[in-house]
């Protein structure tokens, strides 16, 4: 097969992480527009290296390379090999990271490149890979600049990330905001093993997610002996060991229910029946300088659940304090515990916040709206140059 479109990401797909939800929506919009395409992603485990679904193909990179940088460089070469058969027909290549982008922006290309920036590895890797040398991070930053400069358009999911991209020299007119979204659905059935009363956290367990802050806040709610914390972690159980050890030290481990790598529809059920959803993002460079677009906040609001979240610029793009939940200073367990307690003590007002949050998503932040914005980006980037200059 020879494709007109390709979507490439240095991410495992499918998975229980929010990135996989995002990839599924964006790639589907691209492939619907171009009647098929090639999806190049990370595999491993029991995922097949190759799948074909009608005019859509999925190829997965699964080389067992322990070193992250070596693996990223090998992935970039793998992408080049998989794009090469389609270079004569390819019209749009949509990428999510510099290692996917590098082969796509090569000299002599006839296709357009849409670079979707959900994060900047030069910033994020200092948190996920703390032993990375400053020289290595500097090289990654130059790679980011090179790929951003040579891309035709840059898509960002939040204004904060847009500012970070502008700081790398990308012109304002080249940046397009396509926010994350959620589906508005009927309330799912309550999970059979759900506690009578619980607050919920959904997502990954990296340090910037603030699970340590949440556990310390939950320890301050010990007097609410009927309240449990449900953690729907998007990573395997072994990755939770440090957080679970902290829970034991704080004496809250017996009040926590863990769920690992649940399918997306099961996470939605846990969200829908929670008293409060908590997003305790830390005030680190990854969340402030780079920015983020927390899908957990959007999906919680779509479920009609009030949110207690860190008061960060990226979060304020999505929700307002007192309107859709409570915003508290980042890295303040006592403040977070107080916000959760207030929401629990005033259930009618909390329920009203949940309803207002759901309406906000329905009016402004559905996946359908995000896909419409992305479709306009594709129309813009593939329009003849003389038309785009008018």
Q: What is the CATH number of the domain that holds 40?
A: 3.40.50.2000
Q: Does the residue 193 lie in any domain?
A: no
What average pLDDT score do residues 72-77 get? Answer: 96
Range of weakest confidence among 132-136, 211-215, 261-265, 292-296: 132-136
Shared domain for 254 and 314, answered yes or no, is yes
Concatenated DSSP letters of 153-198: EEEESSHHHHHHHHTTT--GGGEEE----B---PPPPPPTT--SSE
- Taking the C-alpha atoms of 175, 176, 180 and 183 in order, what is their torsion angle to the nearest 10 degrees? -170
pLDDT higher than threshold 60 for residue 385: no
Centroid of chain to Cα 188: 23
With residue 82 as reference, give the H or E element that holds it.
helix 68-83
pLDDT higher than threshold 90 for residue 305: yes
Q: Does the residue 39 lie in any domain?
A: yes
Shared domain for 36 and 177, answered yes or no, is yes
What average pLDDT score do residues 309-338 get? Answer: 97
What average pLDDT score do residues 171-191 get? Answer: 95
Higher per-residue pLDDT: 383 or 365 = 365
Work out how many domains the chain is built from and give that number: 2
The percent of residues above 90 in pLDDT, for the chain, comes to 86
Q: What is the pTM of this model?
A: 0.92
Range of weakest confidence among 127-136, 367-376, 379-388: 379-388
Shared domain for 136 and 239, answered yes or no, is no
Sign of CA dihedral 350, 353, 355, 357: negative
CB atoms within 10 A of CB 224: 16
What average pLDDT score do residues 22-49 get? Answer: 95
Supply the pLDDT for residue 34: 95
Shared domain for 326 and 384, answered yes or no, is no
The pLDDT tens digits of the residues spanning 111-123 come to 999 999 998 988 8
Q: Does the residue 119 lie in any domain?
A: yes
pLDDT higher than threshold 50 for residue 388: no
Shared domain for 169 and 202, answered yes or no, is no
What average pLDDT score do residues 226-246 get? Answer: 95
Shared domain for 317 and 375, answered yes or no, is no
- Distance in angstroms (rounded) separating the CA atoms of residues 317 and 173: 21
Shared domain for 119 and 208, answered yes or no, is no
The pLDDT tens digits of the residues spanning 186-198 come to 999 999 999 999 9
Shared domain for 308 and 360, answered yes or no, is yes
Shared domain for 125 and 235, answered yes or no, is no
Q: Does the residue 189 lie in any domain?
A: no
The pLDDT tens digits of the residues spanning 82-111 come to 999 999 999 999 999 999 999 999 999 999
Supply the pLDDT for residue 76: 97
Q: Does the residue 93 lie in any domain?
A: yes
Supply the pLDDT for residue 313: 94
Supply the pLDDT for residue 384: 58
Shared domain for 329 and 379, answered yes or no, is no
Shared domain for 377 and 353, answered yes or no, is no
pLDDT higher than threshold 80 for residue 131: no
Supply the pLDDT for residue 123: 86
Q: Does the residue 191 lie in any domain?
A: no
CB atoms within 10 A of CB 145: 15
Cβ–Cβ under 8 Å, residues 187 and 304 = yes
Eight-state DSSP code of residue 63: -
Sign of CA dihedral 20, 26, 30, 31: positive
Looking at every residue in the chain, the average pLDDT score rounds to 93
pLDDT higher than threshold 50 for residue 240: yes
Residue with tokens 């959760």: 340
Q: Does the residue 36 lie in any domain?
A: yes
Supply the pLDDT for residue 389: 42
Range of weakest confidence among 294-303, 320-329, 346-355, 381-390: 381-390
Supply the pLDDT for residue 336: 98
The pLDDT tens digits of the residues spanning 267-298 come to 999 999 999 999 999 998 888 888 788 999 99
Supply the pLDDT for residue 18: 86
What average pLDDT score do residues 25-38 get? Answer: 96
Shared domain for 355 and 378, answered yes or no, is no
Domain span at residue 276 reads 198-364
- Distance in angstroms (rounded) separating the CA atoms of residues 69 and 71: 5
Q: Does the residue 282 lie in any domain?
A: yes
């Amino acid at each position: 097969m020879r494709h007109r479109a390709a979507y490439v990401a240095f991410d495992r797909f499918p998975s229980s992480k929010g990135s996989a939800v995002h990839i599924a929506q964006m790639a589907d919009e691209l492939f619907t527009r171009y009647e098929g395409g090639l999806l190049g992603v990370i595999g491993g485990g029991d995922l097949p290296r190759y799948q074909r679904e009608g005019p859509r193909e999925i190829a997965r990179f699964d080389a067992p390379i322990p070193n992250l940088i070596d693996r990223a460089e090998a992935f970039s070469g793998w992408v080049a090999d998989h794009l090469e058969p389609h270079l004569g027909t390819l019209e749009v290549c949509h990428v999510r990271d510099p290692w996917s982008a590098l082969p796509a922006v090569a000299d002599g290309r006839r296709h357009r490149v849409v670079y979707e920036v959900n994060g900047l590895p030069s910033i994020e890797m200092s948190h996920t890979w703390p032993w990375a040398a400053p020289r290595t991070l500097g090289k990654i930053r130059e790679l980011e600049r090179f790929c951003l400069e040579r891309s035709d358009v840059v898509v960002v999911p939040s204004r904060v990330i847009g500012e970070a991209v502008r700081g790398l020299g990308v012109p304002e007119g080249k940046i397009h905001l396509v926010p994350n979204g959620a589906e508005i659905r009927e309330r799912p059935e309550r999970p059979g093993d759900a506690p009578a009363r619980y607050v919920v956290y959904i997502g990954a367990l990296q340090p910037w997610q603030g699970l340590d802050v949440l556990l310390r806040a939950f320890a301050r709610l010990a007097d609410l002996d009927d309240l449990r914390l449900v953690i729907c972690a998007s990573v395997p159980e072994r990755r939770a060991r440090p957080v679970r050890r902290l829970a034991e030290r704080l004496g809250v481990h017996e009040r926590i229910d863990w769920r690992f790598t649940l399918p997306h529809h099961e996470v939605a059920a846990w969200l829908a029946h929670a008293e409060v959803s908590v997003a305790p993002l830390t005030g680190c460079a990854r969340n402030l300088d780079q920015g983020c677009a927390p899908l957990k906040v959007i999906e919680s609001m779509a479920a009609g659940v009030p949110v207690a979240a860190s008061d960060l610029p990226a979060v304020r793009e999505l929700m307002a304090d007192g309107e859709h939940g409570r915003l508290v200073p980042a890295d303040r367990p006592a403040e977070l515990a107080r916000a959760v307690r207030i929401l629990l003590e005033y259930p009618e007002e909390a329920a009203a916040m949940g309803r207002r949050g759901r309406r906000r998503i329905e009016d402004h932040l559905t996946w359908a709206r995000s896909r419409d914005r992305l479709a306009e980006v594709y129309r813009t980037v593939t329009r003849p140059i003389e038309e785009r200059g008018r």
